[in-house]
Amino acid sequence: MSAPTVAEPATVTLTLREALKQSLREALIADDRVFLLGEDIGAYGGCFAVTMGLLDEFGPGRVRDTPLSEVAIAGAAIGAAMNGMRPIAEIMTCNFSLLALDQVVNNAATMLHMSGGQFNVPVVIRTTAGAGRQLAAQHSHSFEPIFAHVPGIRVVAIATHEDARAVLRPALDDPDPVVLFEYPRIMTMEAELPVDPVPVDLSTAAVRRPGSDVTLITYGLTLHTVLEAAETLATDGIDAEVIDLRSLRPLDDATVLSSVGRTHRAVVVEEAWRTLGVGAEIAARVTEEAFYDLDAPVERIGCAEVPLPYAKHLEDAALPQVPSIVAAVRRVMHRG
């Protein structure tokens, strides 16, 4: 008698922007307290088309176009969150989010402490980061480390379709502010996903590629470059493990240290500037907690210490690329 056939889970092919839209739509359906606000998110559908069609489905009361004022967007969202709503604010790029830092850092991040535990601020702020599209310095930077520096907020970098599809549920459940970084350069990338989203834990890093020789630690847009570099290294017989930090605050030390304890070598890659960046923090923690596991110093790769150039060849030269990652891995491999 043959074994019963097990049905494969239903899947759907989505771009990353469609995965984000599905997540937003499900959040709006699931909870009447959820509403969206931001510049051009309504009739225009958002600068990156993530909110396209949601105004027609949910109406202007729940998909709210705002004036071009980041400080107003963040302030309105924080006030609504303190009064029982679950706002999801969109700030077009992280360069523009600097205008809202006063609201995020001095209000959202501190309110629970300053009120003696009386007021949580369950606000979700979506913004974008990353270069590679020739949009020059005011639209291309990666300011994740600025937000990750601040106690009182959770910072998440969304680099995969699975995370994009499922990230809003735990973000909205968090009683404290959550800042989500998305990456326009991969918005049109497609992937096959289960129809029902697989839950994600925002506090943990994800091992995107297992390996035994060296640990490559990254987040956000650079994950895809690092995975490509890992495949290049494999042709040379170097088996690289790739860790997607995913959560930048809090950092998942346990996953990183466990990997480094097995591979004995680490390279940290980020698109933000190296100085005072996430890579610097990871390198410090690995050195503090796993110094005697290391067979070589931790290598760090980041953006060149310049405003992002417009010219394509200069932009490419400023950003981490596969050859520079491969060269860094070879350096740590030859120091053992």
Query: Which residues carry out catalysis?
Result: 70, 139
Q: Name, in order, each residue with C-beta under 8 angstroms of 255's C-beta and a sequence gap of 6 or more.
A: 204, 205, 207, 243
| Calculated CA dihedral for residues 25, 86, 272, 225, nearest 10 degrees | -30
Report the run of H or E that residue 312 belongs to, with start and end. Answer: helix 312-318
Tell me how far apart the alpha carbons of residues 329 and 232 are, in angstroms, rounded to a whole number.
11
162 with 200: CB under 8 angstroms?
yes
The three-class DSSP label of residue 174 is coil
- What are the backbone dihedrals phi and psi of residue 311, each rounded to the nearest 5 degrees, phi first? -60, 135
- What are the backbone dihedrals phi and psi of residue 269, each rounded to the nearest 5 degrees, phi first? -125, 130
Residue found by looking up tokens 């379709």 in the block: 161
Beta strands in 277-328 (DSSP E): 299-303
The three-class DSSP label of residue 172 is helix
